[in-house]
Amino acid sequence: MNKNVGTVCVHGKKQRRNVDNTGAVSFPIYQSATFVHPAFGESTGFDYSRLQNPTREELERVVNDLEEGVDALAFSTGMAAVTALLDILEPGDHIVATDDLYGGTIRLMESICKKNGIKTTFVETDKVENVEKAIEKNTKMIYIETPTNPMMKIADIEEISKIAKKNSCILVVDNTFLTPYFQKPLKLGADVVLHSATKYLAGHNDTLAGFLVTNSQEISEKLRFITKTIGACLSPFDSWLVLRGIKTLHIRMEQHQKNAKKIVEWLKTQKAVVSVYYPGLEENESIEVSKKQGTGFGGMVSFHVDTPERAKKILKDIKLIQFAESLGGVESLITYPMFQTHADVPLEERLARGINECLLRMSVGIEDVNDLIEDLDQAINK
C-alpha cells in the first residue's frame, strides 16, 4: 500500500517492528541500557542501547521513510549529527560549504575540522557556478543549507548534485528548515540529509536531537561505526518525544507556512521594515528553484528593520512572540542572529552576509496569525 506523507508521519511506510505484545498504540519507551541474551550466541536483536534501542530504532524507521533513504541515524543533538558526519573525512580533505550556514556549523568547521587538518571553503551556494569554482583536487564533500540560515537563500540541489557526482564528492543537505514534508533532498541527488530534529521534527521546544539520513549503504556503514564508537546516540525518552512530534509534522508545517506567508505580506507594508527574506516571495531570484525542488516554503522569516535601536525595542516589547534561540516549535520565537546564532562568525563576515544589528529572524509558530501580527505591530510601531 502506497502511503501519503501525512500517513507516513503517523505510521511510517511499513508495519512497525513487533517488540511489544501489549498492543500499545503509542510506541513504548524502552528505558533500558542493556538487554538480556537468551543464550550464548543468541540475541533479541538488541544488546546495548548505545548500539541500538527499540524506541530509537522505531524513530529512525519513520524518519528514514519520510526522507526515502536506506538508513537514518538519530543523535543526541543536531551538532552531534554534524560532528559524526564530518568524522568520515580524513586529514587533508576539503569541504565546499554554504557561507550562510548555521553559526554552530561554521564554528565546528573553522575550529575542530581545521585542527584535524580538514579545510573548508565557504561560498554562496545559491549560485551554482561558485560551487564549481571552489572544487579542489582534495574536495570530498559539498555541504549546503537550503534555505540558508538566516538569509533564506536557495541552492539548486539537483544542479549541485551533478557537480558532486562529477567530482566524486559527498553532497550533504541540511533540510532542517523545510523538513521532508516540503523537500526531499535525497530524491534530488543528495547523498546525506541532515536535521537538527530539535526543530520542526520534534516541534515542541522540549528536546534536543539530530539526524543523518543517507541513500548510500557505504556511508551508512561508516556512520554506524562512528556512532557506535563515539556514542552520541539519542536516548530512549528523547526518541519517543521526537517520534510523538513527527506524528503531527504535516499538520504543523502547513500552519507554520500559512502563518508565515501572512506575516511576510504584513511586514512588507511596514515603513520600519527595510527588507524581508522568505523563500516563498515571488520577487526572489530563486523562486523557480524553490518551486522546482520543494512543495512549500516553510515557516522561517528574516527581516531588516531601519535601526539597531528598533531591533532591540522589538526584542524587548514583544509579548506573545518570545525572544529565544532555536526554531521550529509550535511557539513563535524571534532571535538576533548578530549576537546569538552567528556570534562566533567573524564580524566582517557577518556584516558581508547581511547579518547586522538590524536583522531579526523569526520562527513563525502555529498560534492565531492575527495575534502574532498584533504583537509585531505593537512592538515595531508603538
Amino acid (one-letter) located at 19: V
Known catalytic residue at 137: no
According to DSSP, the β-strands at 210-214 and 273-277 are: unpaired
Task: Name the active-site residue from 56, 61, 153, 199.
Answer: 199
Task: Name the active-site residue from 3, 13, 16, 50.
Answer: 50
C-alpha distance across the termini of the chain, in Å: 55
Known catalytic residue at 371: no
Length of the chain: 382
273 beta partners: 305
Task: Name the active-site residue from 102, 143, 277, 278.
Answer: 102
Known catalytic residue at 353: no
Known catalytic residue at 174: yes
Task: Name the active-site residue from 174, 191, 238, 375.
Answer: 174
CA distances in angstroms from 324 to 76, 119, 267, 277, 337, listed in the order given: 21, 32, 20, 19, 11
Q: Do the beta carbons of residue 363 and residue 327 sit within 8 Å?
A: yes
| Residues belonging to the active site | 50, 102, 174, 199
